[in-house]
Amino acid sequence: MMNDFKSFDSKESLVEELSLNIIKLLKEAIIKNGRASLLVSGGNTPKALFQKLSTMDFPWEQVTISLVDDRWLPSSHKDSNELLIKENLLKNKASKAKFVGMYIENKTAFESDTQCSNLYKEKVYPFDVIILGMGNDSHTASLFPNNKKLERAYDLENKNLCISIKPETAPYERMSLTLRGILSAKNIILHIEGEEKLKVYKKALNSNDIFETPISAVLNNQDKKIEVYHT
């Protein structure tokens, strides 16, 4: 299935259109189910988007916001995605939204796959909108190239929505959605910035090696249409 690629001349115009699209998709979910879920990624790229969303007039109390992945750190740690979301999205009008994080105190990530999955199944699932990012190495969520856990993460028979991973090329243990979890979302959006990321994206579109280029496992899935926003 062809992906829907949208390119913008400025970060501001991308944020404006993407935020309106997210609100539209959440509204559709609320009309249908009385609730909606939005799962987001960390990093610097989505900060302006989060800040814009936080100011938008919307029944946020009917929305559950959660994470695509996180470093296995207390939410007070500067490298925690949960902290990033709380400081940039869960404020202003969006402070009324519910939030479900991944981190579980006093447990390692590797002890927590099932508990995290059960929490997401109970509090977040079904997934209405997922906003993915992508690294220059083509990782998405915390699915890093050539990681020994990728086979398990890609196994669509794996009932867990979450999987613990320790990247060899980045710090900290992590928890990530599995491929099954990502692909279960009704709407999947990839948000990328810059020429380097555009090159990585184009390379991934032409790659069949999902272990070398993990984002390819999402982009090239025949059953899902991915919206791609680039500036």
Kindly report the pTM of this predicted structure.
0.97
pLDDT (mean) for 81-93: 98
pLDDT (mean) for 115-129: 98
pLDDT (mean) for 220-227: 93
pLDDT tens, residue by residue, 44-85:
999 999 999 999 999 999 999 999 999 999 999 999 999 999
Instruction: Using a pLDDT cut of 70, give the percent of the chain over it.
Output: 100
pLDDT (mean) for 22-50: 97
pLDDT (mean) for 199-216: 97
Q: DSSP strand E in 16-151: where?
A: 36-40, 63-67, 69-71, 98-100, 129-132
Q: What is the mean pLDDT of the chain?
A: 97
Residue 177, pLDDT > 80, answer: yes
Give every CB contact of residue 145 below 8 A, 6+ residues apart in sequence.
137, 138, 139, 169, 211, 212, 213, 214
Show me where the domains of the chain are located. 4-230
Residue 89, pLDDT > 90, answer: yes
pLDDT tens, residue by residue, 155-166:
999 999 999 999
Q: Which amino acid is at 134?
A: M
- pLDDT value of residue 2: 78
Residue 169, pLDDT > 90, answer: no
CATH number of 4-230: 3.40.50.1360
- pLDDT value of residue 1: 66
Give CA–CA dist 188/228, Å, rounded: 9
Residue with structure tokens 């555009």?
A: 198
